[in-house]
């Protein structure tokens, strides 16, 4: 069970782009983090050739492992 880039055959390095939101409260001279979301996975790219891999086409166990690894939902 592993990732393989369909374009270049890379099996070792991949870039997972995520999005995470934060709510910051400004109270006078101080800032406070009041809320933080878990990151959401936006895309998965080959680190060698930047080809996008289809997250939906991944083996479900591999997709779940990757999402847990980056702390996403």
Output the pLDDT for position 72: 81
In the predicted model, is pLDDT for residue 10 greater than 90?
Answer: yes
In the predicted model, is pLDDT for residue 63 greater than 60?
Answer: yes
Three-state SS letters, the chain: CCCCCCCCCCCCCEEEEEECCEEEEEECCEEEEEEECCCEEEEEEECCCCCEECHHHCCHHHHHHHHHHCCCC
Closest CA to 3 of 50, 69, 53, 51: 53
pLDDT, mean over the chain: 92
What confidence tens digit (pLDDT) does each residue in 12-33 have? 999 999 999 999 999 888 999 9
In the predicted model, is pLDDT for residue 1 greater than 70?
Answer: no
Q: Mean pLDDT, to the nearest integer, of 48-68?
A: 93
* Distance from C-alpha of 16 to C-alpha of 44, rounded to nearest angstrom: 5
């Amino acid at each position: 069970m592993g990732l393989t880039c369909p374009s270049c055959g890379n099996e070792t390095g991949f870039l997972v782009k995520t999005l995470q939101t934060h709510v910051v409260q400004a109270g006078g001279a101080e800032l406070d983090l009041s809320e933080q979301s878990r990151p959401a996975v936006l895309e998965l790219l080959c680190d060698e050739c930047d080809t996008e891999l289809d997250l939906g086409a991944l083996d479900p166990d591999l997709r779940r492992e990757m999402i847990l690894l980056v702390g996403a939902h």
